[in-house]
Chains A and B, each alone.
Chain A
Amino acid sequence: MPQTLFEKIWDSHVVVERDDGPSILYIDRHLVHEVTSPQAFEGLRLNKRGVRRPDLTIATMDHNVPTSDRSLPIVDQISGLQIKTLEKNCQDFGIQLFDIKSPYQGIVHVIGPQLGITLPGTTIVCGDSHTSTHGAFGALAFGIGTSEVEHVLATQTIRMEKPKPFEIKVVGKRKNPRTITAKDIILSIIRHIGTDGGTGTVVEYRGEAISDLTMEQRMTICNMSIEAGARAGLVAPDQKTFDYLRGRKFTPKNYDELVSKWQETLYTDSNTSFAKSFTIDAGSIAPQVSWGTNPAMVCDVTESVPFPEEYAKGNEDQRKAAEKALQYMNLKAGTQMTDIEIDRVFIGSCTNSRIEDLIEASNVIKGKKVASKVRAMVVPGSQMVKKQAEEMGLDKIFKDANFEWRESGCSMCLGMNPDILASGERCASTSNRNFEGRQGTGGRTHLVSPIMAAAAAIKGHFVDVREMELN
């Protein structure tokens, strides 16, 4: 029977198949970070259990690490304790850790692919919903809760009901690949299918516009699958995938052999039926900006803030949600998006903190200055991204424009470290969630692409980046 890529990966990892409940699935890579793991290790200790496969487990610290000078001690003592706890847990259970001083430290979903930990056809889990990022390499990768982290540590497996395959086709070509980015594609998809459009499914992104994307751009797309409610999102691996992973720190020695095997198996068979399908024309997509408090509340930069009735299309729950969102965001329906002024700019997060993101943003700001009332920061996704950017002189471009150039981490995507918005501050952010208070209690987040964020930093308000000169 013809199968989807997702089903093939699923089937090849089933340890125990059950019709009357969840199957038991083998996990190839388990990524661990400081925030969702302490209680899992505590559970292991209480039950006198060990880590079954420390050799398939990797840890780093990213969520609450400061992005200021790494030679200084961590001021926030509670964060410090969480970081120390991860160090101790990794030591006690024999897990490789890339700590705050390591050249490999970074956002777990940035370093996974950079280090060749992420591989096509594998199962990857992490106690973080954006684990879906790794699906860009044709892996089945999804976020899990802390109890499941403990389960994977103890058994190297997970119990799970099989999700349904969901095909999202992005057909055609983007009008201008320099100004219409992967972020605009995924925001546009979520805007159409809603924050629960993918619930219970694993998305496979297909179509010409997806094939056209670089690996980093595919990561941006897969990263935000969870914002549409999907547990995972993936793209079938191709030559770009195989080239990207070649020769990295953990790339297996028998790589060519593996690539041949992947080429034979890792694709969706023709004539396969998906449980669900959605098609969007890449040529219809404009730069996107979110106006509300969830990632489906998004419009084109050329549009105005919608009226709740118009947004809700007759759904009373949605109308109320939109009204509440506008109140929280302090926005008036009918306001042109380009008239909205901002206080802060954040370029970073597991969605958009990779080298290509930084290059694109630097092309917008080169030789310009951040608007005087705006505070802007760049937080590279990993120490490796930071180093590469510095070698290219990008740090200088950002600093000359009055951007802050920080150390790597999750930073202001979720504001667990000192990088937060003050109440009432409005931010153009390249992150993934515009939930109330996400970047700081009372803070207001607008999700955009790196070039849109960079353009907003220069002008002090949202602008249609298509009208700007790019270097």
Chain B
Amino acid sequence: MEPFKKIKSIVTPFDEVNVDTDQIVPKQFLKLIHKTGFGKFLFYNWRFDSNGKPIQDFILNDPKYKNSKILITRDNFGCGSSREHAVWALKDYGFFVIIAPSFADIFYSNCFKNGILPVKLDSKTIDELFQTSGEIEVDLEAQKIKTSTKTISFDIDDHRKQILLKGLDDIAMTLEYENKISNYEKRVMTPSLL
């Protein structure tokens, strides 16, 4: 995974609560067997009409937000299905940061496996950010978001932070505990399915 760098970009204000992963990537696109190329399916049913033509008033179709790398949204983003395709689509489309008051658990965890930073902020600060125009800077190292008028701090679990900053491979890190895993297996003897 690429190490996570500072992100400077305008913000896409996505004013929806409880956005489920069925909306982020509809099921008809889950049949692919690789991780790449999901960006074109992002919010497909909200972004395109039944003829595949862009729906003008959907926010991602506004040229103003074309190069935005930061999505700001409302409570419980990413609820529902565990499909990691949702995160692959957001990343492939170009989002590196998602800011919301809360996230669904599986989605939140999936973000860190794919180099996306989910930032939790209180609803009042989110309301203010919805009003921000112009670029903001997200600095994960310093845990700060800088707008033209103010600096906002955010909390993040230090372990998850390091994973993003260093682009670490979870599996390689776990395999460093090989001894402990083997010892557990000798001690517990889980009933086999063979």
Which residues of A are interface residues toward B (Cβ below 8 A)?
15-16, 18, 20-22, 24, 26, 28-29, 35-36, 38-39, 42, 47, 49, 52, 55-58, 63-64, 76, 78-79, 81-82, 85, 96, 117, 119, 122, 127-129, 143-148, 150-151, 154-157, 159-161, 163, 195-196, 199-200, 226-227, 229, 231, 250, 252, 258, 294, 317-318, 320-321, 414-416, 423, 433, 435-438, 441-442
Residue numbers of B with Cβ under 8 A of A are 15-18, 20, 22-23, 26-28, 30-35, 45, 50, 74-76, 79-85, 87, 102, 104-106, 109-110, 113-114, 157-160, 170-171, 174-175, 177, 180-181, 184-185, 188, 190-194
The CA-CA distance from A315 to B170 in the complex, in Å, is: 39
With A20-B159, A195-B18 as contacts: A252 and B191 at CB distance below 8 Å? yes
Q: Which of A57, A195, A226, A437 contacts B26 (CB 8 A)?
A: A437
Interface contact tally, CB-CB below 8 A:
189
**Interface CB pairs A-B, < 8 A, 27:** A20-B158, A20-B159, A21-B159, A24-B174, A26-B188, A26-B190, A42-B34, A56-B192, A127-B82, A147-B84, A147-B113, A147-B114, A154-B175, A156-B181, A159-B170, A161-B157, A199-B102, A229-B104, A250-B191, A252-B191, A258-B191, A321-B17, A423-B50, A437-B26, A437-B45, A438-B22, A441-B26
Q: In the assembly, what is the distance between CA of A457 and CA of B104, in Å? A: 34
Residue from A21, A63, A76 having most chain B Cβ neighbours under 10 A: A21
Q: Is A436 in contact with B30, judged by CB distance below 8 angstroms? A: no
In the assembled complex, the Cα of A442 lies from the Cα of B48 at a distance in Å of 12
A147 to B27, CA, bound (A): 19
Which of A57, A231, A435 has the largest number of chain B CB atoms within 10 A?
A435
- Extra contacts, 8 of them, besides A21-B157, A47-B171, A143-B82 (Cβ < 8 A), are A24-B181, A81-B31, A151-B170, A155-B171, A196-B18, A250-B193, A294-B79, A321-B17
Given contacts A96-B193, A415-B27, A441-B45, contact A36 B177 (CB under 8 A): no
Residues in B whose Cβ lies below 8 Å from that of A442? 50
Please indicate the chain A residues that have their CB under 8 angstroms from the CB of B50 in the complex. Answer: 423, 441-442
Bound CA span A213–B33, Å: 40
A300 to chain B, nearest CB (A): 22
Judge whether B113 and A148 touch: CB under 8 Å: yes
Which residues from chain A contact B191 at a C-beta distance below 8 Å? 28, 119, 250, 252, 258
B82-A144 in contact (CB<8A): yes
- B34 surroundings in chain A (CB, below 8 A): 38-39, 42
CA A174 to CA B80, docked complex, whole Å: 28
Q: Which residues of A contact B87 (CB under 8 A)?
A: 145
* Residue pair B30, A437 in contact (C-beta under 8 Å): no
B75 touches A317 (CB 8 A): yes
Please report the C-alpha to C-alpha distance between residue A5 and residue B91 in the assembled complex, in whole angstroms: 38
Pair B174/A155 contact, Cβ less than 8 Å: yes
Q: Do A145 and B22 contact each other (CB < 8 Å), given the known contacts A82-B33, A155-B171, A317-B17? A: no
Q: Please give the distance in Å from A36's CB to the nearest CB on chain B.
A: 7
A146 and B171 contact, CB distance less than 8 A: no
Contact residues in B for A49 (Cβ distance below 8 Å): 171
Q: Which residues of A contact B26 (CB under 8 A)?
A: 437, 441
B22 and A437 contacting across the interface, CB-CB below 8 Å: yes
